[in-house]
């Protein structure tokens, strides 16, 4: 493995001849991982589309390696190089058409969500930061199977949960980011990343146990800004400092005072609004996170959570059912109902 974005065919050929082994650059390593992780038709299409520009760029230098490429194909007048270029162009066009259909299908799905007034919270972060584990902790969805590996998630998957006020919300699990993520991969996964831009709120999950956690944060922010999201989405993004249990356990093994300082530092950052310390595996800090999610979602959707005390025999309950999302109704006495509801700022006024 050569840690460079891409190797020229000539460089790769010479290195393989010298080392007598296959040589891979950064792009090909990431692409191989993507190929192995792709499970759905959409993911496989996107990975294949990302590979085509890379293959195209290498065709122009093949002549010096394969001298036979200058020969003509019988009956066609095309060289082998021309044939390869044409085949790649045709395949690229077909893949783009298939992915455009997927984009159109996603638009239909989004319209259905809007009709049901279901807020969407997109969960983003560096690869293997614990996004899926956090979503499982929030939604209690047993079918989710988080994996401790790079790019375990290549598809955007949606999982239902409930805010503390019992309002339904959808969590969007997304592809993990990485430093110097190849532009071709960002482009080909645009159908997937498009859902992030249209979310009502963003959660950025960080692995604070990783020695390069601050560098990873910068990489994630760089990719997000490259997608041109609405300014308010980034400004109100919730930062989660995940794997706090690993920070403490690592420090405990060396020096108890360091553990205290590390934990105090993370809590101090939370007080400054810089992040919420969480252990997605153990569940610590999740209650605080839920409160922040509810606050952010309600603000983004123009709603607020209100508890009303209304006469039991009046029209108030009926009106709230028609104009708000009633979450609970309790009878405090024979004449009064206590109603918890999520209501738009307009209707509340």
> 3-state DSSP call for residue 273?
coil
The pLDDT of residue 252 is 46
**Letter string b/e over residues 327-345, b meaning 16 or more CB atoms within 10 A of that residue's CB:** bebeeeeeeebebbbbbbe
pLDDT, tens digit only, all 349 positions of the chain: 787 878 888 888 888 889 899 888 888 888 887 777 777 777 788 788 888 887 887 776 555 455 444 455 555 566 777 888 888 899 989 988 887 887 777 776 666 666 566 889 999 998 888 999 999 999 998 877 666 555 555 567 788 999 998 888 999 888 777 766 666 666 656 666 777 888 999 999 999 999 999 999 998 898 888 888 889 999 999 999 999 988 855 444 444 443 333 555 555 455 455 799 999 999 999 999 999 999 999 999 888 889 899 888 889 888 988 888 888 888 888 789 999 888 888 888 7
CB atoms within 10 A of CB 127: 21
Q: CA nearest 158: which of 211, 214, 118, 206?
A: 118
pLDDT at residue 101 in the model: 81
Strand partners, 340: 307, 328
Question: To which residue do tokens 């209690």 refer?
Answer: 140
345/58 Cα distance (integer angstroms): 57
To the nearest 10°, the Cα dihedral for 279, 151, 144, 250?
-20
Can you tell me whether residue 285 is helix, strand or coil? coil
Query: Please, which residues have CB within 8 angstroms of residue 108's CB and are 6 or more apart in sequence?
Result: none
200 in Cβ contact with 297 (< 8 Å): yes
């Amino acid at each position: 493995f050569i840690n460079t974005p891409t190797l020229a065919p000539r460089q790769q050929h010479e290195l393989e001849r010298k080392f007598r082994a296959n040589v891979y650059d950064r792009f090909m390593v990431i692409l191989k991982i993507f190929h192995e992780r792709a499970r759905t038709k959409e993911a496989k299409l996107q990975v294949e589309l990302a590979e085509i520009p890379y293959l195209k760029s290498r065709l122009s230098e093949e002549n010096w390696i394969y001298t036979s490429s200058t020969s003509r194909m019988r009956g066609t007048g095309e060289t082998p190089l021309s044939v390869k270029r044409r085949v790649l162009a045709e395949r690229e066009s077909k893949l783009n058409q298939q992915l455009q259909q997927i984009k159109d299908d996603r638009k239909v799905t989004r319209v259905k969500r809007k009709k049901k007034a279901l807020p969407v919270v997109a969960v983003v972060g560096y690869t293997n930061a614990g996004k899926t584990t956090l979503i499982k902790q929030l939604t209690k969805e047993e079918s989710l199977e988080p994996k401790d590996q790079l790019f375990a998630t290549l598809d955007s998957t949606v999982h239902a949960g409930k805010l503390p006020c019992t309002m339904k919300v959808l969590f969007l699990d997304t592809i993990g980011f990485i430093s110097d993520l190849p532009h071709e991969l960002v482009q080909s996964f645009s159908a997937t990343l498009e859902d992030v831009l249209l979310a009502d709120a963003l959660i950025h999950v960080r692995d604070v146990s990783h020695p390069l956690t601050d560098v990873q944060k910068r990489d994630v922010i760089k990719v997000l800004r490259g997608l041109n999201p609405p300014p308010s989405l980034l400004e109100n993004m919730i930062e989660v400092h995940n794997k706090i249990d690993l920070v403490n356990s690592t420090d405990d093994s060396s020096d108890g005072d360091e553990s205290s300082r590390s934990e105090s530092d993370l809590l101090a950052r939370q007080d400054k609004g810089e992040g919420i310390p969480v252990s997605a595996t153990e569940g610590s800090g999740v209650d605080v996170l839920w409160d922040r999610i509810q606050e952010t979602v309600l603000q983004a959707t123009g709603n607020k959570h209100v508890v009303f005390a209304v006469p039991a025999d009046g029209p108030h309950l009926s009106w709230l059912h028609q104009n708000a999302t009633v979450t609970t109704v309790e009878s405090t006495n024979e004449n009064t109902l206590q109603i918890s509801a999520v209501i738009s700022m307009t209707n509340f006024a």
